[in-house]
Copies of this chain bind each other. A is one copy, B any other.
């Protein structure tokens, strides 16, 4: 898809990334996919916690590798004077600094936003934390599970009348990482437009509420919180899983025309039936409708129905496990499964590709390895000594 003229939007942008685990590294992965250079500043000894997270392959964490591929690493103890000198030099070259410490940690190190902003007016400071840098709970610790629960997502996920479940993906972290990436990009645009650098302060808890569009609207109008509705959309019908002879598949007939088309394909004379003629009526009779549909769909395997419904233009599809998704022809055609290589350039892990497809941005299916701890120290020190200034690489 890239045009003739290649343009990696963030080419030349240098990001000092002090974050670890998931939310921050997910944000810097997004910036790197757009062309930025990511220098991970890790604590000496252990580095990023996720270097010790399963699953492992040949002694290295695949979890760490799939989120940190292509980044550079230098281990610095920000309380040690010699390492602080290096860090100060890095700051002189950086466009962005990212951190996910508890609020106050950077201030105690002498690298808080106020100090850095006075020192480097154009530097962008991106912070992600459990509850943000303001408010009564700003100092409390959080993990993904805590904000999924407190932030409301769990309360609408799961089966009716059963205990809530968490979202299988770590969206407590990932949504926050995505909003951090958004904020940093906006701040980069503002700096490029002549404004000073800004602090971006993203809270994992805030980010959960921001995902609940539908549930917030319902609660706002009715005063009542929606409950979990299993595999069904709470206010569109039919929009859920259905049994075929060999298992479940999905039908999402989101409007009257699609419902009429669905009835036609299934041979069900229901489109004019007052119990099902409008979405509101269908929602009220959803259980009956499900049985009438399954009385037909149970007669054939799911692949049969997916093909029939697709032919009629009705949104439908399989429920795929992750291995199936990673072999899905559409996913592969979009370069959404990439090979993370080892130091010798041999494919070592599969990882998700970049979902932000830009017409002039190359979209390779090969990724450089994740760095070993402190693995780029020599090159980074050499670069610092070379005398290149920020301006040498921050313009395209």
Contact = CB atoms under 8 A, between A and B. Distances in A.
Nearest to A203: B334
A138 B331 CA distance: 11
A163 interface: yes
Interface stretch (A37-45, A140-148, A262-270, A286-294): A140-148
B324 A207 contact: no
Interface string A362-373: 000000000000
B213 A355 contact: no
A334 B146 contact: no
A316 interface: yes
A176 B141 CA distance: 29
A330 B250 CA distance: 38
Contacts of A389: none
A260 interface: no
Question: How many copies of the polypeptide does the oligomer hold?
Answer: 2
Contact of A315 (B143, B164, B188, B215): B143
B182 A30 contact: yes
A356 B200 contact: yes
A202 B359 CA distance: 11
Contact of A192 (B189, B208, B280): B189
A50 to B, nearest CB: 10
A154 B214 contact: no
Contacts of A171: 167, 171, 211
Name, among A34, A220, A352, the residue most crowded by chain B CB atoms within 10 Å (CB to CB). A220
Nearest to A314: B141
A342 B370 CA distance: 51
Interface string A178-213: 110111011111101111101111110111111111
A301 interface: no
Interface in A297-334: 310, 313-326, 328-331, 333-334
Contacts of A161: none
A-B complex: 5 closest residue pairs judged by Cβ atoms: A156-B168, A135-B333, A225-B321, A185-B185, A9-B190
A377 interface: no
